[in-house]
Amino acid sequence: MADSTQGDAHDKAWKKAEKKFANKHASQYYDPCQDFADRSLKCMKRNGFDREMCHDYFQAYRDCKKNWLTQKKAS
């Protein structure tokens, strides 16, 4: 019985939020550069948080972010 009430509560919560997510702007909840950010963090963990070892990952993230913001401004 508790499972069905939790399911109903979940369904009601989703119905309230569904319109917001269905009509969101393309970049409001999505960062196309998140993969680069994740890779840079994994590199930091792998290399004992030595920033010098992960310079290429950070640069790739900065380049991605710069391109994304440039495209966003142009549109």
Q: What is the pTM of this model?
A: 0.58
List the chain pLDDT tens, one digit each, 75 residues. 445 565 576 667 667 666 665 665 655 567 889 999 999 999 999 999 999 999 999 999 999 999 998 988 887
Contact 51, 58 (CB under 8 A): yes
Tokens describing residue 58 = 């950070």
Helix (H/G/I), strand (E/B), else coil: 57: helix
For the record, the structure tokens of 73 come out as 């401004």
What are the distances in angstroms from CA 1 to CA 6, 7, 9, 71? Answer: 9, 10, 13, 51
The Cα 26–Cα 13 span in angstroms is 22
